[in-house]
Amino acid sequence: MSDPMTRLDALRFARRVVAEHTARQLAAIDQWIADEERREAEQHTGRERRPAKPAWLLEPGLNREAPAVYVHRGGCWNAGGRSHGIDQAGVRQALADGVAACPHCRPDTALD
């Protein structure tokens, strides 16, 4: 038969168990940190690659045949979700064609 474990042997065994458990937990935390750093780097890269917001927006009608509803400045809070960017010449043309200027952002007053 084997000798019974002494108190000192039990303490050493407990220390080894705790050390191994702690090492596994630290490895898991290190992996979580690496994953989070990778996610943050991807988000940063995505923000850098995102195209600039357009300076002018054209809000189309409710269907393909309907005329455009409004011309907006870029970033107007009232621009519809279907709005798309246009250049300054497109803004001038749309206003000349009778598309209304947004009454909130007043793009017609911002044209040079």
Residues 35-83: pLDDT tens digits? Answer: 999 999 999 999 999 888 899 999 998 888 888 899 999 889 998 888 9
The residue among 77, 75, 69 whose CA lies nearest residue 95 is 69
- Contact between 72 and 56 under an 8 Å Cβ cutoff? The reply is yes
Domain ranges of the chain: 1-50, 56-110
CA distance 57 to 6: 80
- Quote the mean pLDDT of the chain: 92
pLDDT at 105: 92
67 residue type, one letter: P
To the nearest 10°, report the CA torsion of 22, 26, 28, 33. Answer: 160
For β-strands 84-86 and 70-73, DSSP reports them as unpaired
pTM summary value: 0.57
